[in-house]
A and B are shown apart, each in its own frame.
Chain A
């Protein structure tokens, strides 16, 4: 009778994690949704690249882009994308005070000022861009 030797191999303790580990708690859900927003950021960049490409190619391509963007599916996708973009922007501006510590005359500038400055810049830039485009 032959004896089978097995190598000593400690088994790792790795508890299985559900793919939906982030659903149970609100903070986890928000975290994962925020990470997910990057996919929509990427899509919006691609969408704008298509626009720039169409504009650089000429009138016919621009018309094609406009037809594409008024397709109901595309509209729906862009509404969802917009929701994620706003979520990304608002959470971004709200965490800015934690990342930036600004001191003025030896005193730390209040968090609300930093967040406020970001929101003001956002509004200003958006207005400027809209004015440039709508003309």
Chain B
């Protein structure tokens, strides 16, 4: 069997992170970052949010939405195109890759933790 490379997989994570962020983050931030705090609409009751967040599909979607950008999309973007990206390509790329995966590996548990604690997991 031909040796498989991990690179396409990383790109898949990257694109799904970007897509998830593009599709779902704007509406969530509009609501919770702007509309509710500014008082243009009354914020939902905590019990309602809890029941929405407890729904299994919501939890899967949220986990993907939090983990994919934090784990893959953000680190790759944040480290690409820095001014240091000059001639020493090979070295530099290796460094970027290491840093990106470092940040990504730290981002993943950060995304998973609140999803698996407290009343979210309690079965009503």
Contact = CB atoms under 8 A, between A and B. Distances in A.
Interface residues of B, number: 53
Given A38-B77, A125-B23, A70 B37 contact: yes
A53 B52 CA distance: 14
Interface in B1-58: 15, 18-19, 21-34, 36-39, 41, 43-44, 46, 48-50, 52-53
B46 A62 contact: yes
Contact of A92 (B19, B31, B32): B19
Nearest to A78: B33
Contacts of A62: 46, 49
Given A88-B21, A88-B22, A56 B66 contact: no
23 contacts: A14-B87, A32-B81, A35-B81, A37-B77, A44-B25, A45-B65, A45-B69, A48-B28, A52-B115, A55-B120, A56-B53, A57-B118, A62-B46, A66-B43, A74-B37, A78-B33, A81-B33, A126-B27, A132-B52, A133-B52, A134-B31, A134-B44, A135-B44
Interface of B: 15, 18-19, 21-34, 36-39, 41, 43-44, 46, 48-50, 52-53, 62, 65-66, 69-70, 73-74, 76-78, 80-81, 83, 86-87, 110-111, 114-115, 117-120
